Structure 1
């Protein structure tokens, strides 16, 4: 008997969805859809996507944009998963840009021995995750797993025969990218990066699901800036400093553009040994040790199927079928509800008493039904009055509670919170601005980045006090900051480094 499931890749600029049926080790693509988000709210884009592909009568697995998460690499003196889950909020509390209570945390292990483990922690705003799940549930689907876009593709490469144990995966889409470094067969670094900020080259998806650039004269500069950001991301990590001559694999929609495989090696230089699209041949899977145990994927034959653009959704489907261990944010308050389907006798034994109790409850409540109905009508009237007072410009009221919730979510995703927290895209823009205005030859290491109501605070270390002055002067050139002050600068007697703290005031604050 065949089963049907959906794999949906939700990037901030592009949505891809695939409906699979699995029957006798055959994964058949029965439906697929691609949708550009553009400047629309994600709720609106998901609603349109549900009109292109049937969301009903299927299990579901989703991947959220990598830039929706915060990441930290940690070394811990234990290996037990339960212990790690308990200790992570305490370890991360001082190194998160928002309050730790607002974040849901999951992790994967990058290296482990008998007493220690190296992990990558991924954190997402609980409100953002709740908004995505609520929208999907309203559209008729409740995801079983929630992971990070690009990670399933990295896992696919890890489980592919004859590929190197060390490689770099670049998952590039219209305005965002993810850099995933693999060492000795384990993911050791995940970094979201901006790509083509401000649509300088104007990459977009056409009506036949191909990638084109509106301003080709800016393509070279776009790729050069992107490769520079990759170098900076790797150099800022203690894990990645020793790697040169890596195999580079490309995925994401922009990887299908003809010039990508030429410009990435040119921009990365000695870092790149080779550059090629992420593998897509299911016959080379490491765990397919025999023909009996292997899966076969059957893609559609229509002209709108673009393997490179659909690769992340395809690999998310592979992860679901192969049950590869990865991030899954369906935990704690967001855990999926268990079903009775696993045990028929247990379901009957539990259902019969519940039905009896329900009948008694109905008889008891019927007496008070008329009064409750009257109160409900009164509450509905009050809700409509509050809605009309809160949103006087909205004249068509269908579901006032849901409409208010959507408006609140839209506002929370496009503005700064009371605690000074910024959305992930703004934080990336600030980090890009800071990086661009610190002179490149300077020996400087930033250790903390704090955003609050008073502006930004940067902490770090460098070699001399003159370098601190040079950093200050460089940041003063940025149009994003109205004032830059040196709050502290002290010589560390142990390391002979100068530890400093800068206070930056954003323009308009």
Structure 2
């Protein structure tokens, strides 16, 4: 019997299920359905029926946590060993999450070599969002083997159908824009819900954020790939009217192209077919591991603890008999390093490699110092001071939006005339901090009393610290 890979997408009103079957190692879609439901009891009943009753041996189910319920970070490590990354992940993520690390479940993708180091995509899902989703499947009697994070799950499932580009996922819950390079998101944006109402409101947001994502990656002119219930033909045409390439991915079922609404759940079915050794995100671990897997994990931990205890006792005895003085000295130095580290970083919970963690902590402190404007020429505070100093005193200007990134500063506001905008641009270009001041938008207001504008300032890169 062929293995089945089942993708499941549940929103507030609809249940969508896609099933793929393995044929000579290749997963092929065999069905995709969408059904409305009125309450939880009806949802559970239709969920069991949609997957064909009780699970079969070899079935693999996958779902995705909404992007708004998780956090993705790209970390850098000097090693590619998965066990070391797993041990250091909690420490690295804790300093970068807006919520306590213990309130999340974290996972990471396989490390990629990048200039002598290794870049690791890491994700943390909110436990308060994971728990009800897992409980739904447990109540339905269905084992959910894979719980990935959108839009990473969609990009993984559609890896064979997408070229490098911008993946736009328009679902009922959220709209995400991901820059996908070599089949993996390298960055993404979660767009405000209000921007997804109409093509007129969504297209400018997509174009603006797509430009920022591509500029940061040194890319330009990448195509848009639209999926989800909001990927209407009118939106595709509206994007094309702006001079960009846009299309709905070509994924077929029985020779017919799938509707955009079904593409996310089809991607989840194909995501379920990816082997675990490929290391995509999966939050079914720790407290949310499958019960059978959790029992095996506990047995493995007990065996590992016994083996570790015996090994430690053996090593300690040998060290005491042969190198007792050196061993005592080494242990004393280790304890001193740990004591100093705890004193400098009192909030640290996990200590794995003191020198490495100390270097990482110092780097994080340097980043924070730049953010608040300490000892950095192009910090946000320094940029604000420079703009204020360079603006002509005789010109009236009102800034309503100021957006900073390490590469650019975007200002939006209004002033009295087009000539005033030109004066502002020329004055800012004279600053040693800005490589260019580009007027990206300027138009007269309806009442003719002011001119609305947008100026993008390209920052001159500072020399890297030695």
TM-score, structure 1 normalization? 0.52
**Structure 1 counterpart of 2:235:** 260
- How far the C-alpha of 1:338 sits from its partner, in A, is 3.7
How far, CA to CA, are the matches of 1:332 and 1:26 in structure 2?
29
Distance 1:186 1:132, change over 3 A: closer
- In structure 2, what is the equivalent of residue 107 of structure 1? 108
Q: Deviations over 1:284-331 (max 9, x none)?
A: xxxxxxxxxxxxx648x9xxx953211111122122234354111111
Report deviation, 1:333: 2.1
Q: How does 1:107-506 map to 2 (within 5 A)?
A: 107-109=108-110, 111-112=112-113, 115-160=116-161, 164=163, 166-174=164-172, 176-197=174-195, 200-201=197-198, 219-232=199-212, 238=216, 240=217, 242-255=218-231, 257-266=232-241, 272=244, 274-280=245-251, 298=254, 306-323=258-275, 325-338=279-292, 447=371, 460-465=380-385, 467=387, 474=400
DSSP 3-state at the match of 1:253: coil
Shift of residue 89 of structure 1?
1.6
Change (3 A) 1:258 1:496: closer
Q: CA distance change for structure 1 residues 74 and 61 in 2, over 3 Å: closer, same or farther? A: same
Conserved in 1, the CA contact under 8 Å of 2:177 and 2:191? yes
For 2:166, what is the secondary structure of its paired residue? strand
Task: Write the distance in 2 (CA, Å) between the matches of 1:135 and 1:178.
Answer: 25
Query: Is 2:85 the partner of 1:84?
Result: yes
Q: Distance in 2 between matches of 1:309 and 1:220?
A: 20
Indicate the SS of the match to 1:134.
helix
CA distance in 2 between partners of 1:129 and 1:276 (Å): 32
* Distance of 1:466 and 1:159 partners within structure 2: 48
Taking a change above 3 Å as real, the CA distance of residues 150 and 91 of structure 1, as seen in their structure-2 partners, is closer
Q: How many Å separate the matches in 2 of 1:472 and 1:71?
A: 35
Q: Helix, strand or coil for the counterpart of 1:98?
A: coil
* Kept after mapping to 1: 8 A contact 2:5/2:273: no
Match of 1:92, SS?
helix
Count of aligned pairs: 312
CA shift, 1:134, in A, is 1.1
Alignment partner of 2:47 out of 50, 62, 66: 50
CA–CA separation in structure 2 for the residues paired with 1:232 and 1:111: 23
Q: How far apart, in 1, do the equivalents of 2:174 and 2:225 lie?
A: 16
1:10–1:64 CA contact under 8 A, matched in 2: no
Q: CA RMSD in A?
A: 4.1
Classify 1:112/1:35 alpha carbon distance in 2 versus 1 (closer, same or farther; 3 Å).
Answer: farther
Q: What SS class does the counterpart of residue 271 from structure 2 fall into?
A: helix
Instruction: Report Cα offsets for 1:436-479 as digits up to 9, x if no partner.
Output: xxxxxxxxx9959xxxxxxxxxx944414265899997479xxx
Q: Distance in 2 between matches of 1:36 and 1:265?
A: 36
CA contact (8 A) 1:169 1:248 kept: yes
The equivalent residue for 1:357 is: none
1:462–1:468: 8 Å Cα contact kept in structure 2? no
Structure 1 pair 104–467 and aligned structure 2 pair: CA distance change class (3 A): farther
- What TM-score do you get using the length of structure 2 for normalisation? 0.56
Match of 2:450 in 1: none
Report if aligned partners of 2:32, 2:266 keep a CA contact under 8 Å in 1: no
C-alpha displacement at 1:99, in angstroms?
0.7
Pairwise CA distance, 1:230: 3.9
Q: Please, which runs of 5 or more residues in structure 2 have no aligned partner?
A: 297-368, 373-378, 392-396, 403-431, 435-466
Q: Secondary structure of the residue that 1:63 maps to in structure 2?
A: strand
SS in 2 for 1:144: strand
- Deviation at 1:105? 0.9
Q: Following the alignment from structure 2 to structure 1, what is the Cα–Cα distance between the partners of residues 370 and 235? A: 32
**Structure 1 stretches of 5 or more lacking a match?**
202-218, 282-296, 343-444, 449-458, 477-494, 498-509
1:110–1:186 Cα contact (<8 Å) kept: no
Contact 1:21–1:30, Cα closer than 8 Å, also in 2 = no
Deviation at 1:159, TM superposition (A): 2.7
| Structure 1 contact 33–49 (Cα < 8 Å) conserved | no
> Aligned equivalents of 1:69 and 1:254: distance in 2?
22
